[in-house]
Amino acid sequence: MKFYDCAMAPSPRRVRIFLAEKGIKIDTVQVDLMTAENIQPAYLKINPRGIVPALQLDDGTLIDETLAICQYLEALHPEKPMLGTDAKSRAVITSRTLAMEWDGFLRASEAFRNSAPGFGDRGIPGLGGITAIPALAERGMAGSRRFIDTLDGMLGKSEFVAGTSFSLADITALCVVDFMGWLKVTPTDSHPNVQRWYRSVSSRPSAAA
Amino acid sequence: MKFYDCAMAPSPRRVRIFLAEKGIKIDTVQVDLMTAENIQPAYLKINPRGIVPALQLDDGTLIDETLAICQYLEALHPEKPMLGTDAKSRAVITSRTLAMEWDGFLRASEAFRNSAPGFGDRGIPGLGGITAIPALAERGMAGSRRFIDTLDGMLGKSEFVAGTSFSLADITALCVVDFMGWLKVTPTDSHPNVQRWYRSVSSRPSAAA
């Protein structure tokens, strides 16, 4: 089993935190997004979608998308469950994890990839030749601010993003909030619930991953 | 249990097909996206994200995101599995289902919502006040064409989108291909694998859902 990672990237960090929480070590290969190594032929041969994180099984099967990778790892290492323990908690964690991706990651990524120098033709993860759209960067910035507001409302109702225990939804939200920090969108005093939650999840040893 | 649907919309159609394949009937409420009923206070009280499909459990728990809804329904009705049967097939189906969403649904949605009359301020599902970005509609059109090409390559290697059996990944891809038909992006004779697969999946009785 081989984990394709990029140490500076917010998206594969979710898998790194998941592994750290579980105390699992796996063979890791760094793919440098900054130099666009992910869209060079060598990596596209491994993952035609050109994205990290990706997990390659020993039989060659390629699994990308964080949720799928973590689902596989959780099946292999069920102790300390982070994807739920029954039908309802599993569905709620999946639902909230994907909400963090669509309402958070996507917005931050729109803002970052359509404005950052060096990403001028990489407006979509995994692809080259996608010209930046400045209006989309602006829409992504507004969406990022909206995300922090929404997350605050959510965390006013429960201790963690998907209920009473730490899950992949929290890992995803933490990586989104830190990604939004690059854009200078940060929780303020008007987001007391995000601040309380952030202090808790960011002080777990896994957050260093 | 109550299913919030919109009969004309591509996204909740995935849940309708999943239910039809399983032979399950549940209480269904129509939410009219055309008149923006989904972003009116009554529906936002049920799902603050303003999107369909959504499933409300009898205890009030709200589950949105197709994958999460289907995960819950599959746990309740395990016969005729469409989310995999072991760790590997489950992870591959999740991975491919999400790839269909990010590389397919998102692209078609960018094209549709940033160009269709009546969606001029609904550039993102579940929100109002999001002004259309014409350049993003163009990017979405290019992405839709790229999706059909990529899907053809994928279906050249396996009978179904995620291997040898029909799964949620096929349901998602079918709904994406039909959605792209609205944009006049359709498989051609240079997509023989998509054509073969499309004939097969669209002729299943569930496709009428």
Cβ distance of A150 and B69 shorter than 8 Å = no
Question: For residue B67, what are its two tokens?
Answer: 């994958």
Q: A-chain residues within 8 Å CB-CB of B172?
A: none
Q: Which DSSP category does A56 fall into?
A: E
Interval B115-139: pLDDT, tens: 988 888 888 888 888 999 999 999 9
Would you say residue A20 has pLDDT above 90?
yes
Q: Which residues of B touch A69 (CB under 8 A)?
A: 91, 95
Average pLDDT over chain B, rounded to whole?
96
Say yes or no for a CB contact (<8 Å) between B91 and A68.
yes
Question: B75: which chain A residues are within 8 Å (Cβ-Cβ)?
Answer: 87, 90-91
Work out the average pLDDT over B10-30.
97
pLDDT value of position A181? 98
Mind listing the domains of chain A with CATH numbers? Answer: 2-76 (3.40.30.10), 87-208 (1.20.1050.10)
CA distances from residue A73 to A62, A68, A86, A106 in whole angstroms, order as listed:
13, 9, 17, 24
Query: What's the gap in Å between the CA of A142 and the closest CA on chain B?
Result: 10
- Rounded Cα distance between A65 and B129, Å, is 30
Q: What is the pLDDT of residues A36-84, one digit of tens each?
A: 999 999 999 999 999 999 999 999 999 999 999 999 999 999 999 999 9
Q: Is B136 helix (H, G, I), strand (E, B) or coil?
A: helix
Q: How far is B199 from chain A (nearest CA, A)?
A: 26
Give the model's pLDDT for residue A119: 84
Q: Is A1 on the interface with B (CB under 8 A)?
A: no
**pLDDT, chain A, mean:** 96
Query: Inter-chain contact B94–A67, Cβ cutoff 8 Å?
Result: yes
pLDDT in tens, A126-164: 888 899 999 999 999 999 999 999 999 999 999 999 999
Q: Residue B42 has what pLDDT?
A: 97
Pairwise CA distance, residues A124 & B117, whole Å: 26
B76 inside 8 A of chain A by CB:
yes
Q: A69 to chain B: nearest residue by CA?
A: B91
Q: Is B132 on the interface with A (CB under 8 A)?
A: no
Summarised one tens digit per residue, pLDDT across range B37-52 is 999 999 999 999 999 9
Q: Is it the case that residue A124 has pLDDT exceeding 90?
A: no
Q: Closest to A91 (Cβ–Cβ): which among B71, B94, B150?
A: B71
Q: What letter represents residue A188's amino acid?
A: T
Nearest to A68 among B48, B95, B130 (CB): B95
B92–A68 CB contact, under 8 Å: yes
H helical segments located in B49-133: 66-76, 87-100, 106-113
DSSP 3-state of A107: helix
A64, containing H or E segment? strand A62-64
Nearest by CB to residue A95, choosing from B64, B75, B94, is: B64
